[in-house]
Amino acid sequence: MSDEGEITQALARLVALQPQRERNGPRQQGRGDDDEEPGVDEGAYDQHLPRHPHGQRDNIKMKIPTFRGTSSPEEYLEWVQRVDKIFEYQEYSEAKKCKLAAIEFVNYANLWWENVKAQRHRNRLDDVQTWCEIKRIMEKRFVPEYYKQELYIKLQSLRQGGMCVKD
């Protein structure tokens, strides 16, 4: 992969970690006109489906990947990106997201997380309540400032070559 591609991917992962407002409005339940299959009697089809608020999502088991906590910022960024996708799909509560993520910390990451919790307890701080807060704490530890600065410098030095934006 080219340097430009690697920089772009790493920058996209960093941007995705930044706190953001909800991009989409409330999700629509049900099927839209675009989803209909021609020649299929919807009533006959629907009567055999279970009536659950999340439909088939409840039947799909997705495992949170383990996180070892190595010194590689790329490992952390890839892990967070994968976990975010799972959480977006499964729509867990914030408390459950925190627990599911922490369960998958192994090796150094587990020791580090237990230390974070102990320090918060000693300082009489509340337990971490949200997935965004976990990501913020983890980013401070696993994505050093120099890495962010290097990405920014590389991004600034990228050139379009002889092409202009219109091309």
pLDDT in tens, 57-79: 566 778 889 999 888 899 999 99
- The pLDDT, as a whole number, for residue 163 is 58
For range 13-33, the mean pLDDT? 48
Cα separation, 109 vs 88, whole angstroms? 23
Q: What's the CA gap between 66 and 110, in Å, rounded?
A: 10
Whether 87 shows a pLDDT value over 50: the answer reads yes
Helices (DSSP H) in 3-161: which residue ranges?
3-17, 42-46, 73-90, 94-103, 108-122, 131-142, 145-157
pLDDT attached to residue 146: 92
Calpha distance 47→42 (Å, rounded): 9
Q: Which residue has the tokens 């930044």?
A: 18
Residue 102 neighbours by CB under 8 Å, 6+ apart: 113, 134
Q: For residue 146, how many C-alpha atoms fall within 13 Å in the half-sphere facing its CB?
A: 2
Q: ∠ at Cα 9 (19, 66), nearest 5°? A: 70
Domains in the chain: boundaries: 4-161
For residue 22, give both structure tokens: 């909800």
The closest of 6, 10, 5 to 147, measured between CA atoms, is: 10
How far apart are alpha carbons 114 and 128 in whole angstroms?
12
Region 116-142: mean pLDDT is 93
Per the model's pLDDT, the better-predicted residue between 158 and 8 turns out to be: 158
| pTM more than 0.85 | no
Q: Which phi and psi (to 5°) does residue 88 adopt?
A: -65, -40
Tokens encoding 3: 């340097």
What confidence tens digit (pLDDT) does each residue in 88-109 have? Answer: 888 889 999 999 999 999 999 9
pLDDT band of 16, cuts 50, 70, 90: low
DSSP 38: T
